[in-house]
Amino acid sequence: MSAQLHIPGVNDLSNDKTTSFPLNQWYIAALSSEVDQQPLGRTLLNHPVVMFRDSSGDIYAIEDRCCHRSLPLSSGTVEAKGIRCGYHGMLYNGSGQCIEIPGQAMVPAKARVGAYTVQEKDGFIWMWFGSKGNHAPLVDAPSYPIHGDSRYVWGGDVFHYEAPYQLIHDNLLDLSHVGYVHQKTIGGTPSIHMNADMKTTGDDVSVQVVRYMRDSLPPPTYTSAYPFGGKIDRWAEIDFQPTHIKIWTGGVDAGSADLTDPSRGGFHMRGFHGITPETETTSHYIWSIATNPVSDPQGTLASVVAQTKYTFEEDKVVIEDQYQNMLRFKDKPMISIHVDAGANRARRIMEKLRTFDR
């Protein structure tokens, strides 16, 4: 049976009293590399936020609004002590407090805007929202040691989707689409993907899907990065958490390695997918891809990143088309098939984590 989706415009939400998103979670707000000398404005979970660094490089996130005449602070400039509004020059620190009003000696205490909790780790900026007025994080932001692993080189990017986050979760938890959507990069024979040896497990807050596709032809992204001898054994290990999904895919020469050995060689692509709602119906997709180069690390990385980007652009077209058609055929039932086991589990987790405080 299909797990329920709560998407405005697609199904009836009139009796739904929960928040649109799980709030007691760390969400990826940006790649570290996106916040440099310039402020970064981004709407996250319906909150317009501006991120910036002070002179010591520490990262802050405050409401993207000047409390004087409401210009977005993201159109201002970053200084050593904070961010200066681009209209009449009020300067705000990282707690959202105004610390200077040009031409006025007194700065009223109420000259302030809201601030958000952020942590920077492993090349990501994480943000915690919290529920029921409690904005203190319950746990530390997740670590992602792959970005510091000397076997790997990595790069990343940020995509914007005109589609709700749940459809991106569905897409990433069901890789049977790879053979149909991604022929030019990571595809291969569609039937190999549809008939993959697949196991789905999980608990209250996570889902794991493991897929093996033995004795298959290596797809273009694989052959351009690694000297395979012929057919390969492929794997995909998907680890879903409510705000991000890690997907380790790769291949070895057929029969040359145990696919359950964590130190297996071959060609690796380790994807990190931060899926952060912008609104109920639009999403940020903040991703990285790491690979283990056999030679020419920068050349291999450039090729893997370019092909990953191409692959994700293919997904974006499908998911945005899918969403538009769901709106046209709203309230029409959808069925589940065998490939949906992981995605349905994830949907149930997300529904359970939505809180009752709106």
Q: Residue 330, Cβ neighbours under 10 Å: how many?
A: 12
| CA pair distance 286, 28, nearest whole angstrom | 7
Q: Which of 85, 209, 259, 301 binds ligand FES (CB under 6 A)?
A: 85
Residue 121 contacts ligand FES per CB under 6 A: no
Residue 170 contacts Fe ion per CB under 5 A: no
Residue 91 contacts ligand FES per CB under 6 A: no
Site stretch for ligand FES (CB under 6 A), options 14-22, 63-71, 111-119, 293-301: 63-71
Q: In angstroms, what is the minimal distance from the CB of 66 to ligand FES?
A: 3
| CA pair distance 281, 7, nearest whole angstrom | 7
Q: Which is nearer to ligand FES, 69 or 338 (CB)?
A: 69
Residue 69 contacts ligand FES per CB under 6 A: yes
Q: By Cβ distance, which residue is nearest to Fe ion?
A: 315
Q: Which is nearer to ligand FES, 47 or 88 (CB)?
A: 88
Q: In angstroms, what is the minimal distance from the CB of 311 to Fe ion?
A: 6
Q: In angstroms, what is the minimal distance from the CB of 10 to Fe ion?
A: 21
Q: Which is nearer to Fe ion, 280 or 315 (CB)?
A: 315
Alpha-carbon distances, residue 10 vs 173, 174, 320, 329, 348 (angstroms): 21, 21, 14, 8, 18
Q: In angstroms, what is the minimal distance from the CB of 42 to ligand FES?
A: 19
CA 74, 80, 86, 88 dihedral sign is: positive
Residue 214 contacts ligand FES per CB under 6 A: no
Alpha-carbon distances, residue 149 vs 145, 245, 346 (angstroms): 6, 18, 28
User: How many residues interact with ligand FES (rule CB under 6 A)?
Assistant: 9
Residue 315's binding partner among ligand FES, Fe ion, none (Cβ under 5 to 8 angstroms by kind) is Fe ion
Q: Which is nearer to ligand FES, 102 or 148 (CB)?
A: 102
Alpha-carbon distances, residue 157 vs 32, 33, 349 (angstroms): 11, 10, 27
304 class by beta-carbon count within 10 Å (0-12 exposed, 13-18 middle, 19+ buried): buried
Which one, of 207, 172, 178, 144, lies nearest residue 352 by Cα?
207
Contact 106, 37 (CB under 8 A): no
Q: Which is nearer to ligand FES, 82 or 342 (CB)?
A: 82
Contact mark string toward Fe ion, 305..324, x via CB under 5 A: ----------x---------
Residue 69's binding partner among Fe ion, ligand FES, none (Cβ under 5 to 8 angstroms by kind) is ligand FES
Residue 220's binding partner among ligand FES, Fe ion, none (Cβ under 5 to 8 angstroms by kind) is none
Q: Which residues bind ligand FES (CB under 6 A)?
A: 66, 68-69, 71, 85, 87-90
